[in-house]
Structures are given as C-alpha cells and as structure tokens.
Amino acid sequence: MLQTLSIRDFVIVDQLELNFERGYTVLTGETGAGKSILIDALSLALGARNEGDVVRHGCDKAEMSANFTLNDNHEAQKWLSENEMQADDNELVLRRVIYADGRSRAFINGTAATIAQLKELGEFLVDIYSQNAHHSLLKLATQRAVLDDFGGLSPLAQDVSSHYKNWAKLNEMRLEMTRNASKYADELAELRDKTRELAQLDFDQDEWESLQQEHSRLSHGASLLSGCEASREILSEGDISALRQLGVVQAKLQTLRDFDASLDEPLALIDSAMIGLEEADRFINRYLQKSELDPARLAEVESRIQAVHSAARKYRVSVEMLPATLMHWQARMAELDGVGEDGELEKNEAAALAQYMAQAQKLSAGRLKAAKSLSTKITQEMQRLSLAGGQFEVLLTPHEKSASGLEQVEFLVAGHAGVALKPLNKAASGGELSRISLAIRVVTAQQGGVPTMIFDEVDVGIGGGVAEIVGQLLKQLGFARQVLVITHLPQVAALGKQHLRVSKTQTNGQTLSHIEPLDDAHRIEEIARMLGGIAITDTTRQHAKEMLTL
C-alpha cells in the first residue's frame, strides 16, 4: 500500500509530505485548489508521461517520491527480484525528478531506472480511475479486458493471443508460398548451390584468425630467423654479449659486498636479471631449432586465404560474416523445404491452429461463466445506485477466430425497468454512465490484486441519496483495499476514514497549494463548507456533525 508521498516544487506546491492510512481516504477542497495535483504527482512517480510544464515557477526541477509497503504484493516483489532491485523489509521507494528543460530521471530504491521500469512496476502498486475512465469503458476492447480481469482470465487471454499470432504467421507463410511456389522452388535451388559451396569451403572464424597468424609468420620467416639469430648474438654469443657483461658486473659486486653488505640488494637484482636473460636466450634458441623457411606451406596458406576472400567477394559479405551467411541460408532452406511434398508447413499450421482453438475454447467457457456472474453483480449494484429495475448484461457474440478469442464482448445496459437492453455507449446518459461505471469498478476491483485504488472525481453527475450510497460502496471497498477518493460531494467525504483538505494561499506574490489532514473539528467545518458554500451556519455545522456520525 501507499505510505507516503513527498512533493517538492511541483506546479503550485513548494514542499509537501503526506502520510496515508489503510482503508478509505477522501481528498476535498475548493474548486481550483489543486486537488488533482496529488494524483498528477503520484502518476509521474509511477512512470506516467510528462506532458506539461510541471516545475514550479522559478525552480530548476520538481521532485516526487512515493513510499510503499509490499507485504503480500507478490507481483511487485517478483518484478523487483527479476530486475535485481530487491526491497529491504518489503519497503519500496519510487522517485522521479523532472527538470525545467524537460529532462527526467527515475529511481527505484535509490537505483537509477528507466521511466518504462517505473511504469511496469507501478502497475502492480496503484490503479487510478479518473472521469476519463467512463469513456474508456465505452470501448469494446476495454469491456473485454474488464471481463477477463474479473474472471481471472487475463493470462489465458494473453496465451490465446500468442497462439493466434503463431498460427497467423504460419498461415500467411503457407499462403504466400503457395502463391509463389515456382519462385520459391527457384530460390531453394539457388540456395542449395550456394550452401553447398560454402559448406565445402568449411570455414569458421577460429580458422580465419589462425590462418592470418600463420601467414604473418610464414611470410616473414627470413626476418624472424635473422632477427632471432641477431638477438642471440647480443644476448650470449657475441664477445661482448649482455650475459658476459652482466657476469663481469656480478663478479665485481660479489667481491665488493664483503666490504659493504648493502650491495646485496643490487647484486640480487643482477642475479635475477641474469636468470631472466638466460631463460630468454634458451627460448629463442629453441624457437630457432624448430623454425625453418617453408615456401610450400606458405603457398598453401595463401591459397586458402584467397579462396576465402573469393567466396566473400562472390556473395558480397565480409569474411567474418561467411559462417553467419551460411547459417542464414540454411534456415531459409528449412523454411522453403516446408512447402515441399511432405507438407511440413501444413502440418505445423494445423498443429498451431489446434493449439489456438483448444485455448480459445477454454477462454470462451471461462468468459461465459464470468459474464453471468458479472452481469448479476453489477445489476445488483445498479439497484442501490437509484437505477431501480435497471439491468446489466455481458453479451458474448461468436465471431471468427482472432487474437482476442472466438467471441466479441459487449456490455449492454437498461437504465430502468421496461427499457430494452442496449449497448453501453448508446443507452446510458452522462449521470447513468457515471453510476454504472462506478458499479463496474467496485465489483471488478474486488477481484484485482493491486492494493491501492484512486478515484479522481468519478462521482461527477451524482448527488442526493445516490451520493451517500456511492460513499458507502467506496467505504466498503476500503475494507479490503486502500482507497483514495477525490470528491466534491459531502456525502462521499463524510464516510472517509482519513480526510485530507486542499487549499491555496498567496505567499510573496505566489500561489501555493497545501494539503493537510483534518481532525474531527476541522472535518466538521470542511463538510459544512461542502454543504453550505461560503456562508457556513450553525445549521450546516449540525448537519455536518450528523453526517460524520453515520
């Protein structure tokens, strides 16, 4: 769950740190006070895209940091483990820094991260529902996702999509090869000739490196032999060789150290140098004994190098790419062989289709079961939301196989008794859509695993007794999840366990937004303000007290 949110120099917030409790929290304030700033800042900490100037005027950067506990959040723990970002004591800190020039940096538990990583991890931490969520529910793709999430079918739906893409690829390949059978036959014949030639060359990268080294040695054989002989002359064979000269120095120092023991150190160095030179001399001598000029071998190596270069020029690739080119051709031949008389491609396509159909039919059965349950539960919630006699139904219409399965998912609704069921985007008015959307979110959210839910003014268009019922629904949801609601309705705000108020002040000519938790006395004043407007009377205060004791 979300524990704290720290904000610095963000829009009209200079510095803010909020602590959040479990259960149902409400956020209220005057219109324009900046209630949505908290959601915007948290969204950025969760990896949302920065689409505006969010750095407070006169500052060089904005910072937002969100702290979470991950107890029982196995998905988030798994993600951290897979990305080698362990959380100590199940504590998690997401931090985002946005600079005035638009640059952005992200951190997970103090480790630099990408914005994409913040977003991936954030999906396991918080669900944010805004007024725009109503409109997304009008899309068939969203409705299908809601049903799959409710039924715990999302992993199976992804599996179905993967199987469909595999079948579609094989199907397209077979159709293309059938249309171009003659062309592919010619390509296959050409590939066989080319791969036969490269296979006969029997060339690999290790051999190329060995050939180049051997060619360098053989082509410079005379220089190597004469140079090594000259080196031995200097080291040991000449009249004034290095070893003889060092021997003279060694003898002198051995005599002199009898008079001064401090000469032991240079004598030891001379001894060591002589040992090293003697070993080098022996090595060069052995090299000379086994080395000889070999014109025949040099010709063989040069011929081999020429053959490799000729193949590279012929097929217009670098020498280093010849082995990879052979592998590519062999893979392409394997694909083309599938269109042969043995029907290997057709067999693979049929097997892929069978796998898809098995999973898709399993998904269809799961959707049918989930659709009945979801229809019943949302219909029940609609009765509580002053949509008496209203009905909700998830319609599954069979259609041709696709990546989304074997049926189209569509939400139908009737706002009142005696009204025919119609698609959600045609049947619901603005107020009805808000209530139906909230019912869908409340019912489906109980199936999810994300521990924190935020509702940003989803109660727009709702009032009176319905608002109180909405508050009760959100409060009920707060028993199982951490729920934060931005609201303008006193009936919704009065049911919160924790109450935060947003206000604006003028400081040194700047407008600043503040968010503070309210105690009981200040909650009465805030609820009274929401009830009565600017002029707060004893009557509105009494009404507020009554609402807060419900």
| Cα 9 to chain centroid, rounded | 28
Say what the pLDDT of residue 397 is: 95
Say what the pLDDT of residue 81 is: 86
pLDDT at 319 > cutoff 90: no
- Model confidence pLDDT, tens digit, residues 365-414: 999 999 999 999 999 888 887 778 889 999 999 999 999 999 999 999 98
> Which distant-in-sequence residues (6+ apart) come within 8 Å of 253 by Cβ?
263, 266, 267, 270
Say what the pLDDT of residue 354 is: 96
Say what the pLDDT of residue 385 is: 79
In the chain, where are the structural domains located?
1-125+450-517
Longest Cα separation, the chain: 124
Mean pLDDT score, 195-201: 86
Q: Which of 27-31, 286-290, 499-503 has the highest mean pLDDT?
A: 499-503
What CATH number was assigned to the domain covering residues 1-125+450-517?
3.40.50.300
Say what the pLDDT of residue 387 is: 79
Say what the pLDDT of residue 131 is: 60
Give the confidence band of 258 by pLDDT, cuts at 50, 70, 90.
confident
Mean pLDDT of the chain: 84
Q: What is the DSSP letter of 238?
A: S
Say what the pLDDT of residue 550 is: 55
Mean pLDDT score, 19-29: 89
- Model confidence pLDDT, tens digit, residues 112-168: 999 999 988 988 888 877 665 556 678 898 899 889 988 989 899 999 999 999 999
Give the separation between CA 16 and CA 38, rounded to whole angstroms.
10
* CA-to-CA separations, 470 to 177, 441, 485, in angstroms, rounded: 60, 12, 11
- Model confidence pLDDT, tens digit, residues 495-522: 889 999 988 887 777 778 788 899 989 9
* CA-to-CA separations, 394 to 209, 362, 370, 405, 531, in angstroms, rounded: 67, 18, 9, 16, 38
Say what the pLDDT of residue 447 is: 64
Mean pLDDT score, 534-542: 83
Give the separation between CA 139 and CA 424, rounded to whole angstroms.
9
Long-range contacts of 398-404 (CB under 8 A, 24+ apart): 401/164, 401/356, 401/357, 401/360, 402/164, 403/160, 403/161, 403/164, 403/165, 403/168, 404/141, 404/144, 404/157, 404/160, 404/161
Query: What DSSP string runs through 177-202?
Result: HHHTHHHHHHHHHHHHHHHHHHHHHT
Backbone angles phi, psi at 463, to 5 degrees: -160, 180
Mean pLDDT score, 532-549: 83
> What pTM value is reported for the model?
0.60
| Cα 90 to chain centroid, rounded | 20
> Which of 62-66, 85-89, 221-225 comes out lowest in average pLDDT?
221-225
Instruction: Write a three-state SS string for 68-79.
Output: EECCCCHHHHHH
What percent of the chain lies above the pLDDT cut of 70?
Answer: 92
